Structure 1
Amino acid sequence: MNIAVVGATGYGGIELLRLLHQHPHVSDITLFSSSQAGEALNKNYPHMNSIQEKTLEQLDDSLVSNQYDVVFLSTPAGVSAEWTEKILSSHAKVIDLSGDLRINDESTYREWYGQNTAGPALLERAVYGLTEWNNEAIATAQVIANPGCYPTASLLPLLPLVEQDMIKADSIIIDAKTGTTGAGRSPSEMTHFSELSGNFKTYKVNQHKHLPEMEQELSTVRGARETLTFTPHLLPIPRGIMATIYAEPTETGASAADHLQVLTDVYKDAPFIRVRTSDCFPSTKETYGSNYCDISLTIDERTGRLTIVSVIDNLVKGASGQAIQNMNVMHGFDEKSGLDIVPIYP
């Protein structure tokens, strides 16, 4: 297949290139950049020397030609809403890694993103690309709204438990931490080495754009409007997300083993979900550079509350890896194609 990556100079774009480079069904990759068109890719990413000798292309109507089978949009909010309709006029399928197509309700999108959303017709066509959860719809989709990193880490353990009424949805608290790549490549005071090294920060408390996305998906499963408490934190590490989730079991006598069995049954055929026992909680290093999501949980006998720990690499399973996993499902490939990577450890 011929692939186009729009927004190739960000962390998500360069991670797409790393993974697509070894994909058995990809023959050529064209890289588009609105800010660095005409420059050599390895000028800013020297680690790609002699691996991908690419020149960045200008984002223009050539993107809408029939030469691409899949277009990945690894772009800021607003770009996908502008370009996806144009791209779909060709035979290409679109996988959007921005937030433009994730929120179904237009007023909710405007509230949280501060701009107009894509039109209702496009939003209706977009399939939410949480691969293990929406596999059948993804297989026939033309356009995918790739989930955010925090929602991926949080929804994968929560959705099966909410769907089977194992936990009280209105009791859910998500306490999540991410590495600095989650903030993108553009430097800021928050990610400045002197500010972050040896430090640990919370940010966007009750204001993070991923919150309505998680509420939307849980509400869909629950069949009723649900609200969450979600607090994100920034860790002084480059990659990784750990979501520590607290909730009340629906049944007083339900054990940790009962909840783990639900997850094990739901994900028994999911190659990238690894459900662990209650005495083996995951750490960020154990999924580093891979498309895995590792999950474990326990119940505090004193309080009766459930504690779930879910870990992913924010750039892979939380972004580019899941996007490629969705591409594989859309084209009938093995889900693991290009993604069968052992985590880097230590």
Structure 2
Amino acid sequence: FFCCAMAFAARPRLGGGRGRGATGEGDLGARQAIFPRRVRVAAAPEQAQVAVLGASGYTGAEITRLLALHPRINVRAITSERSAGQPFRTTFPHLRESFFKSESEDATMNLTLTKVQDVEWDQVDSVFCCLPHGTTQEIIAGLPQSKKVVDLSADFRLKDVDVYAQWYGAAHKAPDLQREAVYGLTEFKRQEVASARLVANPGCYPTSIQLPLVPLLDAGLILPEDIIIDAKSGVSGAGRGAKQSNLYCEIAEGMNSYGITSHRHVPEVEQQLDEVSKSGPVRISFTPHLMPFSRGMQSTMYVKMAAGATVADLRARLADQFQEETFVHVLPEGEIPHTRFVRGSNHCVIGVYEDRIEGRAIVISVIDNLVKGASGQALQNMNLMLGFPEDEGLMQIPMFP
């Protein structure tokens, strides 16, 4: 696995051409990638000063961990309504103040948790918002307009206010911001993200689903109907809140489905896949499962291929799309993804297989739900917004075992 991880790190960083199609001329899979990798950005600051709102949850702690390694981002404020006044190490002992030295100062950062209203906003130019959905809308609406924001909640992912109200049970309190927000699936939205003030970071399941399916739908290689998705997540995906269903004895040595037919990531996935579908609206059957490990996610997707398409065409299309990407990797025929291939990293690994049912294919993707599925992708987006190299602070090699 060490060799595989080193191969990840050796991938080209940014720029370069789109490359050739991976199949012969005229093949269905030979369509060129249409999602550009080069972006136009404003001049980057030498150092960015950020606040992490809601840092006592798993995604907030993870973004803070990643920022400790970022050479051009300084953590100026971290907030928690419940733990305000406490040192951050009290909540997360693995993160010490000495890890967060500023490039421009000799002193270590003051990582004492504070309340949102006590943040000194004149010291901050960018914000990672890791607060629960529902509360995020009013918080972001109250921030100074000059601040760049990546929101990790679900509050700005859905564009239709009626769809939001239907799935989240309340009217949206900041519809203007909902319309302004850019959906931050980085590999397909680079230019929009780079120009945005507010980015809605995708959910973990939607990230693992869309990375392989967007290119296939865009190329017309799979049909938009009858997409079946079986997805599994580590327990950290359920959050850090004290719930009986998350207790060790409830989780260990077993697995369970949840949110059957009602999971809130369904409209997010369908909304985004509809944008690229060439033959009608996308409808998915989606069932998530909670697994007895801390982090990791696998989505197994069963799709109908378009007339004349083959599994080789699907694999070639994905290989062509992602051949120059730093974080997305398509396995050769016969190799199978494993969540351990991506643990602790911003990588996504994809495999494509022929189903025993004629005309169907199986697509598998794995990510770390806390990194590529949340905080890592958030940092990837913020890098673009600030004009920094997209992979800066994100080149961690996956952990094994």
TM-score normalised per structure 1: 0.96
What per-residue deviation string (whole Å, max 9, x for no partner) do you get for residues 298-346 of structure 1? 1125433110000000000000000000011112211110000100011
Q: Does structure 1 conserve the Cα–Cα contact (< 8 Å) formed by 2:232 and 2:289?
A: yes
- Which amino acid in the other structure matches residue 102 of structure 1? R
Aligned residue runs from structure 1 range 214-253, under 5 A: 214-222=269-277, 224-251=280-307, 253=308
- The equivalent position to 2:252 in structure 1, one of 172, 177, 197, is 197
Relative to structure 1, the CA distance from residue 103 to residue 302 in structure 2 (aligned partners, 3 Å threshold; closer, same or farther) is closer
The answer to whether the 8 A contact 2:141-2:174 is kept is no
Deviations 1:181-228 (A, max 9, x none): 000011222211111110010011011111110010011222643221
- How far apart, in 2, do the equivalents of 1:297 and 1:154 lie? 13
- Residue type of the partner of 2:293? I
Q: CA deviation at 1:154?
A: 0.3
Report deviation, 1:61: 6.0
Q: Deviations over 1:81-124 (max 9, x none)?
A: 102222242x2101000000001111111111112214332112
> After superposition, what is the alpha-carbon deviation per residue over 1:44-94, rounded to whole angstroms, capped at 9, x for unaligned?
21112343562101110646x3321210100101122102222242x2101
Q: Give the letter aligned to residue 292 of structure 1.
A: H
Q: Name which of 326, 333, 337 aligns with 2:388.
A: 333
Aligned position for 2:171:
116
The offset of 1:266, in angstroms, is: 1.5
Q: Which moved more, 1:98-107 or 1:262-271?
A: 262-271
Bigger Rg over Cα: 2
5+ long unaligned stretches in structure 2? 1-47, 101-109
Match of 2:235 among 177, 180, 201: 180
User: Residue type matched to 1:82 in 2?
Assistant: E
1:59 counterpart residue number: 116
Give the secondary-structure state (helix, strand or coil) at the position aligned to 2:395.
coil
1:102 and 2:157 correspond = yes
SS at match of 2:268: helix
Is the CA contact 2:342–2:348 (under 8 Å) kept in the aligned structure 1? yes
Pairing 1:1-346 to 2, within 5 Å after superposition:
1-49=48-96, 50-51=98-99, 54-60=111-117, 62=119, 65-89=121-145, 91-222=146-277, 224-251=280-307, 253-346=308-401
Report how far residue 24 of structure 1 moved. Answer: 1.1
- Cα RMSD, aligned residues only: 1.4
Asked which structure has the greater RCO (Cα within 8 Å, sep 6+), the reply is: 2
Task: Name the count of aligned residue pairs.
Answer: 343
Per-residue CA shift, 1:6-53, capped at 9, x if unaligned?
000000000001000110111333101111111111112111234356
Taking the aligned partners of 1:302 and 1:244, their CA distance within structure 2 comes to: 16
Give me the whole-angstrom Cα distance separating, in 1, the residues matched to 2:94 and 2:117: 27
Shift, 1:161, TM fit: 0.4
Whichever residue aligns with residue 258 of structure 2, its letter is: Y
Question: Secondary structure in 1 aligned to 2:351?
Answer: strand
Contact kept in structure 2, 1:110 and 1:117, CA below 8 Å:
yes
Q: Structure 1 pair 279/32, CA: closer, same or farther in 2 (3 Å)?
A: same
Which letter does structure 1 place at the counterpart of 2:80?
Answer: S
Query: What residue number does 2:33 align with?
Result: none
The farther-off stretch of 29-38 and 44-53 is 44-53
Q: Is the 8 A contact 1:293 1:311 kept in 2?
A: yes
CA distance in 2, matches of 1:273, 1:88: 35
Paired residues of 1:100 and 1:118 also in contact (CA < 8 A): no
Instruction: Report sequence identity in percent.
Output: 41
Matched-pair contact (CA < 8 Å) for 1:256–1:278: no
Looking at structure 1, the residues matched to 351 and 234 of structure 2 have their Cα atoms a distance apart, in angstroms, of 20
Aligned mates of 2:165, 2:329 — CA distance in 1: 36
Structure 1: gaps spanning 5 or more residues = none
Which position in structure 1 is the counterpart of 2:41? none
Question: 1:148-195 deviations in whole A, cap 9, x for unaligned?
Answer: 000000000001101111001112111000000000011222211111
Secondary structure (helix, strand or coil) at the match of 2:150 reads: strand
Separation in 1 of the partners of 2:254 and 2:289?
11
The alignment's TM-score, normalised by the length of structure 2, stands at 0.83
